[in-house]
Amino acid sequence: MTGPAAAGEGGVSDGPVVLVEGLCKTFPGPPPVAAVLGCSFRVERGEVVAVTGASGSGKTTLLSLLGLLESATAGRYLLDGVDVVGLSDDERCVQ
């Protein structure tokens, strides 16, 4: 990876720092568990956000996806302009 796809001054993306569209994470098993299903949002540079919800609603799984600790099963996740959904474990470590 060489950096943000749409870098502005100083190599910083001009778009949102986080862009999530239709993000899904399903854990296999009988039965499969859809922990995050079709999540979409954006976070602009300098914004402060909070993730809230009931117990078992997928907050920890979402944060694991955003922190690149887990891979999404579907959807789109741009981190500072870089699409990270299809990255290998090694590539996610570099980000």
* pLDDT per residue as tens, the chain (95 positions): 344 444 455 556 678 999 999 999 999 999 999 999 999 999 999 999 999 999 999 999 999 999 999 999 999 999 999 999 888 888 888 76
44: left (phi over 0), alpha (psi -120 to 50) or beta: beta
User: Which residues lie closer than 8 Å to 80 by C-beta, 6 or more apart?
Assistant: 4, 12, 13, 17
Which spans in the chain are helix H? 59-66, 89-94
DSSP 18: E
State the pLDDT at residue 15. Answer: 87
State the pLDDT at residue 17. Answer: 97
Token code pair at residue 53: 């919800």
3-class SS at 9?
helix
State the pLDDT at residue 2. Answer: 41
